[in-house]
């Protein structure tokens, strides 16, 4: 079995293991298939964290759909959300009249999603819904309706399965909690 070391020594503990993740993603994919069966569907993935979730989710969705990507930045190299959202890459095509499903890896303060939803609504999609793998409800600063949530999690520094710290750990196949000493230098600034 291949090891993901040296990264794994930085993981305090596994919060959601691979089998649990995959089982829940299959459930989400079934629910999404049922909701959109026979209709147009565009999965809008928010780079970069959501790409691993998207890859598994879309393979479980059993109805025709297309995908497009946006890149936004709400965090610097640091740990906290600033509420400032920058569009780094916009969608390739218009979404007017389309059934758009935003695919997120995590909702924390809600600022990123709040900004995105407001901006995308102005483009007059047919419908606009949200699926997120992870939700940290205790951190919410802006309330945004979310249609499908994979897991509600406590306020821990999570990495893996697309989520990074300083662009690393995205390749871990599970959601882990990062050891505090890994980011201690940063929070001490």
Residue whose entry in the numeric block shows the structure tokens 């095509």: 93
| Nearer of residues 139 and 179 to ligand PRP, judged by Cβ | 139
Q: Which residue is nearest to ligand PRP (CB)?
A: 49
Nearest to ligand PRP of 41, 44 (CB atom): 44
Query: What are the strands of the beta sheet with 99-107, ordered from one edge?
Result: 86-89, 66-73, 42-47, 99-107, 127-135, 148-152
67 has which bridge partners?
43
Known catalytic residue at 92: no
Q: How far apart are CA 101 and CA 92, in angstroms?
A: 15
Cα–Cα distance between 70 and 6 in angstroms, integer? Answer: 31
Q: Are 108 and 136 in contact (CB under 8 A)?
A: yes
Measured from the CB of residue 74, what is the shortest distance to ligand PRP in angstroms? 4
Catalytic residue among 108, 135, 147, 189: 108
Q: 36 or 53, CB closer to ligand PRP?
A: 53
Which residues of this chain interact with ligand PRP, rule CB under 6 A? 46-49, 73-75, 81, 104-113, 164
Shortest distance (Å) from residue 50 CB to ligand PRP: 6
Asked whether 158 and 177 are in contact (CB, 8 A), the reply is: yes
- Smallest distance, ligand PRP to C-beta of residue 106, A: 5
Closest separation in Å from C-beta 48 to ligand PRP: 4
| Positions marked catalytic | 108
């Amino acid at each position: 079995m291949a090891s993901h070391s040296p990264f794994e020594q930085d993981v305090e503990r596994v919060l959601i293991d691979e089998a649990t993740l995959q089982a829940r993603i299959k459930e989400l994919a079934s629910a999404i298939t049922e909701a959109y069966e026979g209709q147009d569907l565009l999965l809008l993935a928010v780079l970069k964290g959501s790409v691993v979730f998207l890859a598994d989710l879309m393979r479980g969705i059993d109805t025709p759909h297309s995908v497009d990507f946006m890149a936004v930045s709400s965090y610097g190299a640091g740990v906290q959300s600033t509420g400032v959202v920058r569009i780094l890459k916009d969608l390739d095509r218009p979404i007017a009249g389309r059934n758009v499903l935003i695919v997120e890896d995590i909702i924390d303060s809600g600022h990123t999603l709040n900004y995105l939803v407001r901006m995308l609504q102005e483009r007059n999609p047919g419908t606009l819904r949200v699926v997120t793998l992870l939700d940290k409800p205790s951190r919410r600063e802006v309330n945004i309706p979310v249609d499908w949530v994979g897991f509600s999690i406590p306020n821990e520094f999570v990495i893996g399965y697309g989520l990074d710290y300083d662009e690393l750990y995205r390749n871990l196949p599970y959601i882990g909690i990062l050891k505090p000493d890994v980011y201690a230098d940063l929070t001490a600034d």
